[in-house]
Amino acid sequence: MDRAQFYSQQAGRQVDAPLHSKARFGIGDVVRHKQFDFRGVVFDIDPVFANSEEWYESIPSDLRPKRDQPFYHLLAENDDASYVAYVSQQNLEADHDGGPIEHPSISELFEEFQDGRYRLRRKLTH
């Protein structure tokens, strides 16, 4: 399998990743965590785990996701707070019925919620 490397600021190192990765979700998609009660909008995608080892090791071993899958950066929310989450693909599902996300940073990255998803602001696209 062809591989490449990219620098992950979160991990503070080069990360080895496949040249082709199959992400189920795209930027602007609204998703829900399968095990925990929160949802969010995707604002970035890593083709494989690219966070710190401390973060990875802090996850209980019986819940720890595989590293070699896409990981999603989310503007997330639950009933109590808004925050940024980093979640493996295996732990996410599409949230077609939940409506818009109320995260305070949404307007910095995205246009209005339309047709079940967000559109990235034009100034942030190539």
* pLDDT, greater one: 35 or 122: 35
Average pLDDT of the residues in 81-97: 95
What average pLDDT does the chain have? 89
Long-range CB contacts (< 8 A, 24+ apart) of 5-8? 6/50, 8/46, 8/50, 8/51
Which pLDDT value is given to residue 20?
A: 64
Query: 121, 117, 99, 120: which is closest to 29 by C-alpha?
Result: 117
pLDDT for position 96: 86
CATH number of the domain enclosing 68 = 2.30.30.390
3-state secondary structure string, the chain? Answer: CCEEEEEECCCCEEEEEECCCCCCCCCCEEEEECCCCCEEEEEEEECCCCCCHHHHHCCCCCCCCCCCCCEEEEEEECCCCEEEEEEEHHHEEECCCCCCCCCCCHHHHEEEEECCEEEECHHHCC
Over residues 32-70, the pLDDT tens digits come to: 999 999 999 999 999 999 999 999 999 999 999 999 899
| pLDDT tens, position by position, 90-121 | 999 999 888 999 999 999 999 999 999 999 99
Residue-level pLDDT at 2: 74
Assess whether pLDDT exceeds 90 at residue 9.
no
Report the number of distinct structural domains present in the chain: 1
pTM for the predicted model, two decimal places: 0.85
Domain limits for position 62: 3-124
pLDDT tens string 10-37: 766 676 666 667 899 999 999 999 999 9
